Amino acid sequence: MNVVETKNLEKIYSDADMEVRAVDGVSLVVEEGEFTAIVGPSGSGKTTLLNIIGGLDAPNRGSVRVASQELTELSKSELIDFRLNNIGFVFQSYNLIPVLTAYENIEFVMLLQNTNSKERKKRVNELLEAVGISEKSKKRPSQLSGGQQQRVAVARALAPKPKFILADEPTANLDSKSTSRLLDIMEHLNLKEGITFLFSTHDQRVIERARRVITLTDGKITEDKRSDE
């Protein structure tokens, strides 16, 4: 099953007299269960492409289908609902809500989904255990290390049972030990639970774990390599 399918995607930014093609004719298919990294130098279009796939940005031209839904056909409110129920996001800066505990941050998306309290409690506790921070459930983000915050962010992304996870430079602010632990967790979730992961990254440690590496250069795919090739 194709989780993501893009065709001839273009995203153009105009700055004074200059036109920048951040994404330039990208056609891409990501299948269910992939563990894929999008790589390339700064300015290559990685984050822009991820934002379009996640429905956070709109292309100037082209098609983007996620879980068989054409995102460009959705209204703003429909897109918000679609993201809520289908896509999990993990950001470089964690984006946790500072006044909420780890437990409450993970629970938050399920509250928006109107999930009943019994199911919420079960799911949050399962996820806290899965990412190895059950003992930190009552701590606020300021009381957690960077690695622990990112594990909460991964658990939050998984809470609504999305079709796949988009992770934008998820290890950028982490030390080697935290990065290794986080990648172990995500790899386990991918292999054991079949969760699809799509990363943008500069991090060689992430690239080495990915089973498919897509290279972007000046908004174009210049290489697409699988680990079994």
Q: Tell me the DSSP string of 27-40.
A: EEEEETT-EEEEE-
Q: How far apart are CA 36 and CA 100, in angstroms?
A: 31
Can you tell me which residue has the tokens 């983007």?
A: 64
> Is the pLDDT assigned to residue 229 strictly greater than 60?
no
Q: How far apart are CA 166 and CA 158, in angstroms?
A: 11
Q: Which neighbouring-strand residues pair with 65?
A: 5, 70
When pLDDT is averaged across residues 65-81 and rounded to a whole number, the result is: 94
pLDDT number for residue 228: 67
Can you tell me which residue has the tokens 């099953």?
A: 1
What is the distance between the terminal CA atoms of the chain, rounded to a whole angstrom?
A: 21
* pTM reported for the whole predicted model: 0.89
Q: Which residues fall within 8 angstroms of residue 70, CB to CB, at 6 or more apart? A: 63, 64
Mapping DSSP to helix (H, G, I), strand (E, B) and coil, where does residue 195 land? coil
Q: How far apart are CA 102 and CA 107, in angstroms?
A: 9
- 77-90 b/e with 16+ CB inside 10 Å = b? eebeebbeebbbbb
Q: Which residue has the higher pLDDT, 92 or 187?
A: 187
The class of domain 2-226 in CATH terms is: alpha beta
pLDDT mean across residues, the chain: 92
- What are 10-28's pLDDT values in tens digits? 999 887 778 888 999 999 9
Distance of CA 35 to the CA centre of its chain: 11
> Is the pLDDT assigned to residue 70 strictly greater than 60?
yes
Q: Which residue has the higher pLDDT, 141 or 228?
A: 141
When pLDDT is averaged across residues 149-159 and rounded to a whole number, the result is: 92
Q: Which residue has the higher pLDDT, 14 or 87?
A: 87
Q: Which neighbouring-strand residues pair with 35?
A: 197
